[in-house]
């Protein structure tokens, strides 16, 4: 991921030095377990464990890259560099392991920790969204379907809908964390031929993982696909939020505005919802990366390298992008400018036509056929939008409406409060 969309601490988690540290942690845990179980000399295991604590990571990386330039294998280069650093005990480093014992177990550690960072960032956003929802619980505005005015809602309900969806995303991230928190120390094709299952159990326990119940050369990529799909769905929610802010930010609507909008290099008057536009764009990357993760599930037999190049890119980039999007949407919601006057003005734009369903249903309840009521109220609503009066005024003056409905009922059902009388109960469902 380019620097522009990489924020701490997620950026540091996926840095090259952090990756090498995780590899070293796996190798150290394996050596310790093998020494305890007598699979390698105990003194060699102790020397490896202590030696790994003293490794100069930047120098090791440089050394490993020099070796890789000659042999073209990153993990083997890493192992050879360690062997030279550790002296005689180094011959027991990586004893009985295959590359993916180290790579996949270390990657699981990284994805587990990255999910923790995302959950923390998501919780911050959820808190802000819920606070803004409660702040605008009873702030009336027009609800729109197909981009057209429908019926009154409140801004708080719009935000509460986002909060509920973000909460479902949290559950998906927790499930993904559970799925990916596994390690694999089972050797070249997963048979433990040169290891024992007890080594795997001890190593995974030390690293905070569970042993995969069965593996071959690698951990199975349905796990990684689940994680990246969860990130893509979260990205879809963030894009939905961003798209709504962008729409309501438009000059002709003007109900919401980004609190820190970007200007234009050419037009001084412009205040653009650029952060939300960026979030919408990055959501496309998350969906594309999730598709790549799904494609990565199938390989030839026990392993091939068709997925290796893909996941080197899509896994860290998805986490970095998702973290960036969460942080930026939190800032958007914190600083969001709400124009309640414009919301009220837009609510009145159709001169009461948004109350047509309530009027129609009241007529039906009083004995008029649905067809007659639909046609009658439709005519009145069109007249209201032509400027011939408000729907309330036209209904009060219409003989058929007056014959079925008393004046008090027409007044009651043609104002926002009638539509919003259950808002408090909806909010009561969310006690957090």
* 330-380 confidence digits (pLDDT tens): 999 999 999 999 999 999 999 999 999 999 999 999 999 999 999 999 999
Q: Quick count: other Cβ atoms within 10 Å of Cβ 287?
A: 17
320-353 per-residue burial string, b: 16 or more CB within 10 A, e: under 16: bbbbbbbebbbbbbeebebeeebbeebbeebbbb
Q: What is the pLDDT along the chain (432 residues), one digit of tens a residue?
A: 689 999 999 999 999 999 999 999 999 999 999 999 999 999 999 999 999 999 999 999 999 999 999 999 999 999 999 999 999 999 999 999 999 999 999 999 999 999 999 999 999 999 999 999 999 999 999 999 999 999 999 999 999 999 999 999 999 999 999 999 999 999 999 999 999 999 999 999 999 999 999 999 999 999 999 999 999 999 999 999 999 999 999 999 999 999 887 877 788 888 889 999 999 999 999 999 999 999 999 999 999 999 999 999 999 999 999 999 999 999 999 999 999 999 999 999 999 999 999 999 999 999 999 999 999 999 999 999 999 999 999 999 999 999 999 999 999 999 999 999 999 999 999 975
**Which of 264, 306, 369, 402 does the annotation list as catalytic?**
264
d(CA 273, CA 23): 42
- Domains within the chain, CATH numbers bracketed: 3-92 (1.10.275.10), 107-185+214-345 (1.20.200.10), 350-428 (1.10.40.30)
Is 146 tagged catalytic? yes
Which residue, 144, 145, 174, 140, is CA-closest to 157? 140
The burial of 268, by beta-carbon neighbours within 10 Å (0-12 exposed, 13-18 middle, 19 or more buried), is given as: exposed
The pairing of beta strand 182-183 with beta strand 210-211: parallel
d(CA 345, CA 135): 20
Q: Quick count: other Cβ atoms within 10 Å of Cβ 87?
A: 11
**Which of 146, 269, 301, 431 does the annotation list as catalytic?**
146
């Amino acid at each position: 991921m380019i620097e522009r969309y990489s924020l701490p601490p997620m950026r540091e988690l996926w840095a090259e030095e952090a990756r090498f540290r995780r590899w070293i942690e796996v190798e150290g845990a394996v050596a310790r377990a093998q020494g305890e179980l007598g699979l390698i000399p105990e003194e060699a295991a102790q020397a490896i464990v202590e030696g790994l604590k003293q490794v100069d990571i930047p120098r090791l990386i440089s050394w490993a890259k020099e070796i890789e330039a000659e042999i073209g294998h990153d993990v083997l280069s890493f192992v050879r560099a360690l062997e030279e650093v550790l002296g005689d005990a180094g011959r027991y480093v990586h004893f009985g392991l295959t590359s993916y014992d180290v790579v996949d177990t270390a990657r699981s550690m990284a994805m587990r920790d990255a999910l923790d960072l995302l959950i923390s960032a998501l919780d911050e956003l959820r808190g802000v969204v819920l606070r803004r929802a409660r702040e605008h619980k009873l702030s009336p505005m027009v609800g729109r379907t197909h981009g057209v005015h429908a019926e009154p809602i409140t801004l708080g309900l719009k935000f509460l809908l986002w909060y509920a969806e973000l909460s479902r995303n949290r559950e998906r991230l927790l499930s993904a964390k559970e799925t990916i928190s596994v390690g694999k120390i089972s050797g070249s094709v997963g048979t433990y031929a040169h290891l024992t299952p007890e080594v795997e159990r001890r190593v995974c326990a030390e690293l905070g993982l569970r042993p995969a119940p069965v593996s071959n050369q690698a951990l199975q990529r349905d796990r990684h696909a689940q994680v990246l799909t969860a990130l893509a769905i979260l990205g879809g929610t963030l894009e939905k939020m961003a798209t709504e802010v962008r729409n309501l930010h438009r000059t002709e609507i003007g109900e919401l505005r980004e609190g820190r909008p970007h200007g234009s290099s050419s037009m001084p008057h412009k205040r653009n919802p650029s952060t939300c536009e960026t979030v919408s764009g990055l959501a496309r990357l998350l969906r594309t990366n999730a598709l790549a993760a799904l494609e990565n599930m199938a390989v030839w037999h026990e392993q091939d390298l068709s997925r290796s190049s893909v996941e080197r890119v899509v896994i860290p980039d998805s986490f970095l992008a998702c973290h960036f999007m969460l942080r930026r949407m939190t800032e958007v919601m914190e600083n969001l400018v709400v124009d309640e006057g414009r919301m009220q003005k837009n609510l009145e734009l159709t001169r009461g036509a948004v109350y047509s369903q309530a009027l129609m249903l009241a007529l039906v309840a009083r004995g008029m056929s649905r067809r007659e009521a639909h046609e009658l109220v439709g005519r009145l609503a069109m007249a209201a939008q032509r400027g011939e009066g408000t729907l309330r005024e036209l209904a009060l003056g219409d003989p058929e409406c007056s014959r079925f409905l008393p004046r008090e009922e027409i007044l009651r059902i043609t104002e926002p409060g009638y539509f919003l009388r259950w808002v408090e109960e909806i909010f009561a469902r969310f006690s957090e």
